[in-house]
Amino acid sequence: MEPLLFAGSEETLRFVPASRGFLRRTRLVNGLLGSWSIVFGSGSWLEAHLVTRLGVASRQPNLRGCGINEQEVWDLVQQERRRDRAQAGLVVLCDSISGDQGRALMHRLRGLRQPPRIILLVQDDRWLTPDILADCQAQAIVHQQSFGSGVVIRALQGLRRGHPYVDPRLQERLQQGGAVSLSGREQQVLEGLARGWTNKQIAEEIEIAATTVRDYVGTLCRKLAAANRTEAVSRAMALGVLPGRA
């Protein structure tokens, strides 16, 4: 049976240290973090300070450091790579890290030979559009107002399985934002997904590599704020992106 992730009706406060719900969620998060080395990045000195203190207080050896700008985060990741080249690690970024919400940094990190997994924490979602979402390179995106409701657990579960995750709060916000812009190739791949084809079948049909199809599927999931290929098709149908399926 899947563990109860969300605060129950009797738990009106999400962040009471002694509450059963908070302790349960904390144990689940700690278990999912496992052996990942963790680098945290925020443009807020207070957030970086509190996360560091939390790591010390909880004796969390996985937390390697907290950066308060892009270069500090990059340096911490590089330092960890020199320490353990076999460990790709996890980078948790707040969108306050830079004026572009960390998008350039995420591209830089994903360009590494063994790129880390990235969770983006969104404080102000007004900058977020489907196209920006597709370009931001984070495998999991969570709105900070959703903390304590189970979304961090679901995001980590997705990362463990290699699936992208977008907070339902942000999915709703993006759906209200209007049409999604797809390239010609993205449209072809999407139509293949709608037919139930595998990556190999799509690749043979449109004459590109299966690995390239895989990358397009990832981009489609981010643009459509979908957790997997099935949900991407459902989201595309709801938005009228698939011809004849609006």
pLDDT at 10: 43
Which has the closest alpha carbon to 44: 6, 14, 72?
A: 72
Query: Is residue 10 domain-resident?
Result: no
Helices of type H across 90-198: 103-110, 130-135, 151-161, 168-176, 184-194
User: Which residues are paired to 165 by β-bridges?
Assistant: 140
Residues 120 and 228 in one domain: no
Residues 46 and 90 in one domain: yes
The residue from 153, 176, 199 where one domain ends is 176
For the whole model, what pTM was predicted? 0.70
Mean predicted confidence (pLDDT) in 103-110? 93
| Residues ≥6 apart with Cβ < 8 Å to 194 | 233, 236, 237, 242, 245
Region of poorest pLDDT, from 2-11, 65-74, 153-162, 192-201: 2-11
Query: Is residue 8 domain-resident?
Result: no
Confidence of residue 106 (pLDDT cuts 50, 70, 90): very high
User: Cα separation of 22 and 11, whole Å?
Assistant: 9
Residues 59 and 166 in one domain: yes
The pLDDT of residue 5 is above 70: no
Query: Is residue 15 domain-resident?
Result: no
Residues 204 and 171 in one domain: no
Residues 170 and 194 in one domain: no
> Domain limits at 197?
184-239
Mean predicted confidence (pLDDT) in 193-218? 93
Q: What are phi and psi of 25, to 5 degrees?
A: -65, -40
pLDDT at 216: 92
Residues 62 and 121 in one domain: yes
Mean predicted confidence (pLDDT) in 113-133? 86
Residues 168 and 46 in one domain: yes
pLDDT at 244: 53
User: Which residues are paired to 46 by β-bridges?
Assistant: none
Q: Which two structure tokens, joined as six digits, stand for 118?
A: 């990235």
Q: Which is it for the CA torsion 232, 127, 100, 67, positive or negative?
A: negative
Mean predicted confidence (pLDDT) in 8-36? 79
User: Cα separation of 221 and 169, whole Å?
Assistant: 16
CATH number of the structural domain spanning residue 222: 1.10.10.10
The pLDDT of residue 104 is above 70: yes
Query: Is residue 7 domain-resident?
Result: no
CATH number of the structural domain spanning residue 105: 3.40.50.2300
The residue from 158, 176, 194 where one domain ends is 176
Residues 107 and 228 in one domain: no
Helix%, strand%, coil% for the chain, nearest 5: 50, 10, 35
Residues 41 and 151 in one domain: yes
Of residues 61 and 125, more confidence is placed in 125
User: Cα separation of 41 and 166, whole Å?
Assistant: 19
Query: Is residue 233 domain-resident?
Result: yes
Residues 234 and 155 in one domain: no
pLDDT at 33: 87
Contact 133, 166 (CB under 8 A): yes
Residues 172 and 194 in one domain: no
pLDDT at 132: 79
pLDDT above 70 covers a percentage of the chain that reads: 88
Query: Is residue 245 domain-resident?
Result: no
User: What digits encode the pLDDT tens for the residues 133-192?
Assistant: 767 788 899 999 999 899 999 999 988 888 888 888 887 777 665 557 788 899 999 999
Average pLDDT over the chain, rounded to an integer = 85
pLDDT at 166: 86
- Number of compact structural domains in the chain: 2
The residue type found at 104 is A
Query: Is residue 14 domain-resident?
Result: no
Residues 86 and 152 in one domain: yes
| Residues ≥6 apart with Cβ < 8 Å to 237 | 194, 245, 246
